[in-house]
Chain A
Amino acid sequence: MSLNKAVDAMMETPIFAGIDPKRLRLLAFMSESRTYRAGELLFEQGDEGDSAFVVIEGEASVLINIAGEKREVAVIGANQVFGEMAVLCDIPRTAAIGAKSDLEVLRIDRDAFLKLLSEFPEVSLQVMRFLAARLEATTQALGQAQADLKAQKEA
């Protein structure tokens, strides 16, 4: 797998889209390219989160433990990122991820990512923008949900 392919995939993701491709190339170089066969697990729910992943080819399933059984709740396709929260803060994985088909990903290690952020403040800023936008959307959705809930209770 060449670095170019990884950079192309990263540029399609919202978190990395605004970042200088040169920096992305460095990040890809500092990261690992990995392949998984269909059915293999990338990580378990509750595992330490120490890395983020970018799907380059194939599909991954998001698996949640329900009554002792793993159920697929969502599918992640090419050019999508998952696990990015783990590289920014120390939280356990909230769901397991498995390979749905043969899967090719870029695994971004937390240390590498943080080093890149401290080296290039403009990258940090871009990531911050993305997180703030996401927070804003979440806050709005939460407000809407609370309003709906209140209306329901009153009705």
Chain B
Amino acid sequence: MEKSLVRFVWKYGKVDTIKTLIVTFMTFPIIYLSLEIPKIIVNDALGAGNEPVQFPTEFLYMSLEQTDFLMVLCFLFITAIILNNWLKFVLNTQIGLTSERMMRRLRYTLYESVLRFPIRRFQHMKQGEIVQSVMGEIDALSGFFGEVISTPVWQGGMLAVYMTFIFLQDPFLGAAAIALYPVQAYVIPKLQKRVVMLNKERVANVRKIADNIGESVGAIEEIHTSDTARWHLAQISDRLFESYRIRLAIFKRKYLIKGLNNFLIALTPFAFYLFGGLQVINGNLELGSLVAVLAAYKDVAGPWKALLNYFQRFSDLNSRFELVIESFTGDDVYARERIYGADGDATRLTGDIVLKSATYGTGGSGLASASCTAPASKFTALVGGDEGGREIMMKMMGGLIVPDSGRVTMGGTDISECTLPVIGRSIAYVASENAYFAGTLRQNLTYSLRKHDAMLTEGEIDDAAEKRAEAVQTGNIAANPLGDWTDYKAADVEDHTALNKRLVELTEAVGLSEELYHLGLQARMDPEAHPDLANRILASRSQLRESALNNRELSDLVEFWEEGALNQNASLLENVLFAMPQKATDTIADLAEDKRVMAALNDVGATPVMIRAGLSIAEQLVELLGAVDEDSSLLDSFADYSKKDILASAEIVEAARLKSDYQPKDDARRILISFALAFVPVRDRLDVVDEVMEADILAARARAITLLGDDEYFVSFGEDRYSPALSLSENLLDGKRRFDRRSAWRKFDEFLEEAISKGGLRDGITEVGLSSPLGAGGSGLSASSRKRGALVRALLKRPEVLIVDGVGAGSTPDDQLIRDAIRAEMQGRAVIMAVSDMDAAKTSDHVIQIKPDGVVREGSPSVVLEDS
């Protein structure tokens, strides 16, 4: 990557910069004209010149009388001004565009280097630091990129044009105009430098004051008993004086600079009036020229200030740029080829994985000079090494970390020298903690196949051509993240349908299908995408209702809807409307932006009570989360209360506190209502709904039932329509799952399964489970399901070797099931698995043991495990 700002801009922004420069040069003659024409107007058209013009006069091949001449000149003048401003607009847009392209390239390049960082780098480079570097720190550069080359040329050029004009009118005046520049160029940076230094001193002093205060707070008991308060006061007082002194010095210099600048700028016209005036009186200079010079000089101040400002910004931003680039480069960053691989390379590594004197890290948590072999197409159990050796060994085998010394090879090829595509095709690595991305379960399971670049193609996307052109311009990947990235060949399936079948098989094998059914029941479904399932669900309702009546335990799991009572497990929106709109939104809170829902709340008179509830929730959220840092991921933990809204609510609460009859407007109103709509009493457990509020809500509900009963837009509870805003199980049976009985929900699912077994709904529901969104980090799945999911993900791409650490290692029947599934699936290919259950290790083909002292032994299970 280019390490200097100017070189970066020149290398990647050459074309854009040259375009900018061309426009820049086009403006100069026009600026000159806009100075020249007024002079002609005063001297020739108005006859103030030394040599009066005879009318009619020849001008631009026309013969003109005085008034016509004036008109033509004025018209030319306004044209020049319009043209000049239009070019300025073009120029500024061009600069902005150049900047944004450079910014896109820079951010992309930085992110690409992050992806190329070796794993080890992330130990000392923290997530927040990287995000801050890629986003915040270089933000100030965004407007500046386009200016790096063009501003000095543009502003400098303008300055030159004005000066040339002045010089051409009268060299003497020209000399007067620039006489003071050297003084300014010398004195002002000097003063500025001193201000910068004083500012540093000020910061240091503030820190010292903070330290002193902190120290005395910590030692308050000592201060009281020793009676030394006055000495501490004296100490602080001294520091405060220092602060006063520094600030005063800063002010003095700051205003001196300002004053000096203004004075010097004003001094020149003084010289113009005096010497220029004398020249005019003596007849050496035309009045028009003097007026024009004065006008030109007025415009000189702009470019001059801009230039001074530019050089200051340049030195600041250039050092910032270099700093960021420095922290994102280094010898250890993998080469770009490692990520992309070679075109057409379809190498798959096969053969034994061999460690030869591989060393990584130090001490008991590292691995020292380990040599062992995991044979091809065998099941290798890895035992011991809980101190860290096992994890390191498995990560080495998976190509995730490179040994400090020694080698890791597969079939003779050094793994650390392979490209990621080759490693990805050959090796799958499953850890105990696996990454889950926002999206559906299907997207997460097929993540290992997401490597067939979906390029930007016309027809699929409206602005494909523009997107592709821009991507090429800025060195970005010209691909479409929303396209189908699935590499069906890697999974050895024909198409989407076959992949689905394979997914269902694998989830069944690792014991995940039960989870899918439960997920499906709690997921929402678009009835138009599954018309058949929706119809069958509607058909099973009456039968279900009957079974539910006979099942007493059920009301312990589900709170059924009753017209006259608040449902404590339902959101306030559902409680008020006794219906949901016939569209699904990500969260209920989003419905606060739905006009129809807002109108309905208004019509049933529920808006005031919702605002009241919202304010109460906001107050409690502010109290709970007030001390949490704004950037904290903790604020992302609440699905129904967005981080943005939580942060905004502090201000709302403050406003409400100051005014007793607070009426929220616009965004504040939306936030409060969204809080109230999403609030579920049993789940959120804030003290919000009192008796008065409950009565108000029920009164509004009574009106809603009569008002919305026939409204197409709302699906009432109990209505004979599939409600896309509710979960599948809620569509089967009118009630809300009790949040406090969450651990017994499966019983409810079992009841549903029994009751609807005739309907044959299970497969359809499982399918819906695959497409249900998982929430951030896969939070919708239990820990054990997340592990099973990771296993499915790894098996799906049919690797040559599967490395499993932390899944199915123990002695439970579940672990046994997982091991059996892995064996069956990986038949004829290699498995390397961490196993803690010794009985299980005995059934493996080969055992590698890492002893607590770091010694590695290997051999057949009978040999290794018997004598330890």
Tell me the A residues contacting B by CB distance below 8 Å: 1-3, 6, 22, 25-26, 28-30, 32-37, 40, 42, 46-48, 50, 90, 92, 104, 111-112, 115-116, 119-120
Contact = CB atoms under 8 A, between A and B. Distances in A.
B743 A42 contact: yes
A74 B783 CA distance: 27
B687 A2 contact: yes
Contacts of B624: 22, 25-26, 29
Interface of B: 432-433, 556, 623-625, 627-629, 632-634, 637, 682-687, 739-744, 777, 779, 782-784, 787, 806, 810-812
Contact of B637 (A22, A25, A115): A115
6 contacts: A30-B637, A36-B744, A48-B783, A115-B634, A119-B629, A119-B632
B839 to A, nearest CB: 14
Contacts of A28: 685
Contact of A32 (B633, B742, B810): B742
Nearest to A116: B634
Given A3-B686, A119-B629, A34 B777 contact: no
Interface of A: prevailing SS: mixed
B740 A115 contact: no
A22 B744 CA distance: 31
Nearest to A120: B627
B783 A50 contact: yes
Contacts of A92: 810
Contacts, number: 73
A111 B628 contact: no
A129 B744 CA distance: 36
B685 to A, nearest CB: 5
Contact of B811 (A3, A33, A46): A46
A48 B784 contact: yes
A35 B811 CA distance: 30
Name the residue in B629, B682, B685, B686 with the highest tally of chain A Cβ atoms < 10 Å from its Cβ.
B685
Contacts of A22: 623-624, 627
A42 B684 CA distance: 21
B741 A111 contact: no
A120 B624 CA distance: 13
A35 B779 contact: no
A112 B635 CA distance: 11
A76 B629 CA distance: 36
Nearest to A40: B744
A119 B634 contact: yes
A34 B741 contact: yes
A34 B742 contact: yes
Contacts of A90: 432-433, 806
A111 B777 contact: yes
Nearest to A45: B812
B779 A111 contact: yes
Nearest to A47: B784
Given A48-B783, A115-B634, A33 B432 contact: no
B173 to A, nearest CB: 67
A114 B575 CA distance: 34
Contact of A35 (B625, B627, B633, B741): B741
A30 to B, nearest CB: 6
B812 A29 contact: no
Contacts of B634: 30, 115-116, 119
A7 B632 CA distance: 23
Nearest to B683: A32
B625 A46 contact: no
Given A34-B741, A50-B783, A112-B637, 4 more contacts: A3-B686, A26-B628, A34-B743, A119-B628
Contacts of B623: 22
B687 A40 contact: no
B782 A50 contact: yes
A2 B433 CA distance: 33
A40 B746 CA distance: 12
